[in-house]
A and B are shown apart, each in its own frame.
Chain A
Amino acid sequence: MSRSALKETKVGLWRQMKQHRADYLMVFPFAALFTVFTIIPILSSMVLSFTDFDMVQMPLFNGFSNYIRMFLNDDVFLVCLKNTMVFAFITGPISFACCFLFAWLINELSRGMRTVMTFVFYAPSISGSLFVIFSWVFSGDMYGLVNSVLMELGIIRDPIQWLSDANYILGVCILVQIWLSFGTGFLSFIAGLQGIDRQIYEAGAIDGIKSRLQELIYLTLPHMGPQLFFAAVMQIGASFSVGSVVTMLCGSPTTDYAADTIVTHIIDHGTTRFEMGYACAMAVVLFLMMVGTNQLVRRLIGKFAST
């Protein structure tokens, strides 16, 4: 590009920006708050991750030592990393698939039933801390629901400590997490499925689509790309940030850190030990994993659906 052309585009850009003055003004308040409470925290955690910082003294540059400590000298972090991976790459996809499966099944129902079932599946995600009721269902004494049923049936003789035995904690948390996972992504599926043009199904039937399974694979899924991607983004957000569920059900830390995640480990170091530099370094690792997964999922969904 010649110098004058460059100058021209610069002038053009400036003129364009001036024309949009009102638009910038309208976006500004939101953008400013968004920057302060989302972008700056993420950026500053990247900077602080290379420091030793306790909120009292000035941050002290210490190179990569937080990252080295994380992977070489902190066995608990590695356990938390493993648990986060389990939530992200096993629980997450299962939840995602369940959201789609049940939205699709619900879509087969008549209008009234559809409304009721949508409510039944969505309600857990907005019911606040109702999930603590699971600590009764899985209570470790014989009054706990699961224990008493198993004991009545003669499957076990003594109650199992579901919420404090390291063998079971993670399983229980996964179950509760799946119960909680029918959120906005699920609603997006419900709405998206209703929005698909009926004509493509008519055309499909004429073209020889025989079963509803074929209909799902050849007609429905390819039209759900945008919703699949939205739900995937929300699911990634939910499954990498599992934390309060674990803490409220099984305590913090859990027995042998059996269900602790990176988020609970960050909160442990950030709020009780005030090792902000180290907490930020872990947050950065978490951000990178989330963004990476996001890119991966975007590519996967792009393969079989148009986005």
Chain B
Amino acid sequence: MKRVSRSRAGNVTVLLLLLFFGVFMFFPFFYAVLQAFKPMNEIFQYPPKFYIVHPTLENFMSISQLVDNLWVPFGRYVVNTLLVSVVGTALHVLLASMAAFPLAKYPFPGSRVFFEIVVLALMFNGSVTQIPQYVVMAGMGVIDSYLALLLPPLAGATGLFLMKQFMSSIPDAMLEAAQIDGAGRMCTWWRVVMPNVKAAWLTILIFAFQTYWNGAGSGYIYTESLKPLTTILNQIATAGVARAGTGAAVTVLLMLPPVMIFVFSQSRIVETMAHSGIK
């Protein structure tokens, strides 16, 4: 195969640029982990060091002490987040892929307009629509309940968009074969389409999980016992100087689930994103 030759100078430049900015991108992670394992006297040391003399689990221990003394049992926050994330993620994947299939393969009157609105809505993420959404949800009477955490991300535009783009690449012949065998729309979707778009539903599953995990909608909750895990942990994380090390430990723990999930599904996600272009 003939390709434009890569000059050595060019290759070195590429590597140096990536190395330099890669360090900038990675540094906060490194620093957070470092601080999380430092004892108090090393955190407040001048000048700060990039290694730990006496690594300690003290900071992680003190998280468990802190959460033992909460007014609402800590387990309650865990249950809240797990319940909402699991139910919400499952429903989102189902609803988005069910809607994406006809949009991708059987355009009907109104489908194009609907999809264009969805594309426009990719821009309007949670924080922009928060206040108008609050007004509408207050009108529905769902503020300060699980529904306030669960419902808004269910119809996230990104999930539907990625799913529809991915499904467009399914060969028509496969669908026709299913139809000839007498399968209805729902049956084709469930039996034929879904097994063939694993990469896509894994991707939107992970995106949805991240949204719920990071505490979307926690601004609509006032009752302490309904709040998600992130709210209480972020309170600890930003509690100030006296609990500086604990704060770092909490941010490290909170970051781990979404980042680890991404590591294990990176290739599937990139495969899905190959269809993400807006034509």
Contact = CB atoms under 8 A, between A and B. Distances in A.
A226 interface: yes
A26 B252 CA distance: 41
Contacts of B252: 130
A119 B259 CA distance: 9
A283 B122 contact: no
Contacts of B274: 191-192, 194-195
A27 B103 contact: yes
A201 B3 contact: yes
Interface of B is mostly: helix
Contacts of B132: 41-42, 44-45, 48, 280, 283
Contacts of A294: 120, 123
Contacts of B119: 233
A148 B136 CA distance: 49
B128 A148 contact: no
Contacts of B266: 115, 118-119
B184 interface: yes
Interface in B234-264: 234, 237-238, 244, 247-248, 251-252, 254-255, 258-259, 262-263
B39 interface: no
A131 interface: yes
B205 to A, nearest CB: 14
Contact of A145 (B25, B31, B152): B31
A134 B132 CA distance: 31
Interface stretch (B44-52, B60-68, B69-77, B79-87): B44-52
B27 to A, nearest CB: 8
B121 A137 contact: no
A37 B125 CA distance: 11
A127 B213 CA distance: 11
A143 B43 CA distance: 8
Contacts of A238: 125
B154 interface: yes
A100 interface: no
Contacts of A137: 28, 31
Interface residues of B, number: 104
Interface in A26-53: 26-27, 29-31, 33-34, 36-42, 44-45, 48, 53
B279 A240 contact: no
Given A22-B184, A34-B157, A241-B127, A123 B135 contact: no
A13 B66 CA distance: 64
Contacts of B43: 143
B8 interface: no
A235 to B, nearest CB: 9
B259 A123 contact: yes
Given A41-B136, A128-B258, A195-B274, A307 B279 contact: yes
A248 interface: yes
A187 B270 contact: yes
A96 interface: no
Interface residues of A, number: 111
Contacts of A227: 276-277
A124 interface: yes
B270 A190 contact: yes
A300 to B, nearest CB: 14
B122 A23 contact: no
A132 interface: yes
A48 B135 contact: yes
Given A205-B3, A211-B4, A233 B278 contact: yes
B127 A22 contact: no
Contacts of A188: 273, 276-277
Contacts of B154: 33, 37
Given A108-B14, A201-B4, A307 B136 contact: no
A38 B129 contact: yes
A134 B103 CA distance: 43
Contact of A26 (B31, B48, B186, B219): B186
Contact of B121 (A13, A36, A38, A187): A38
Contacts of B141: none
Interface in A276-307: 276, 279-280, 283, 286-287, 290-291, 294, 307
28 contacts: A27-B102, A34-B160, A37-B136, A41-B129, A41-B132, A41-B136, A45-B135, A108-B14, A122-B262, A127-B259, A128-B251, A132-B237, A133-B28, A134-B28, A136-B31, A179-B28, A184-B158, A188-B273, A191-B270, A191-B276, A198-B3, A206-B2, A210-B4, A226-B276, A226-B277, A276-B135, A291-B120, A294-B120
Given A184-B273, A233-B122, A263-B127, 9 more contacts: A33-B95, A33-B151, A36-B140, A133-B32, A136-B248, A179-B24, A188-B273, A192-B277, A237-B124
* Complex A-B, nearest 7 residue pairs according to Cβ-Cβ distance, in ascending order: A226-B277, A23-B102, A33-B155, A41-B132, A20-B108, A30-B99, A45-B132
Interface of B: 1-4, 6-7, 10-11, 14, 17-18, 21-22, 24-26, 28-29, 31-32, 35, 43-48, 95-96, 98-99, 101-103, 106, 108-109, 111, 114, 117-136, 138, 140, 151-152, 154-155, 157-158, 160, 184-186, 189, 207, 210, 213-214, 219, 230, 234, 237-238, 244, 247-248, 251-252, 254-255, 258-259, 262-263, 266-267, 269-274, 276-279
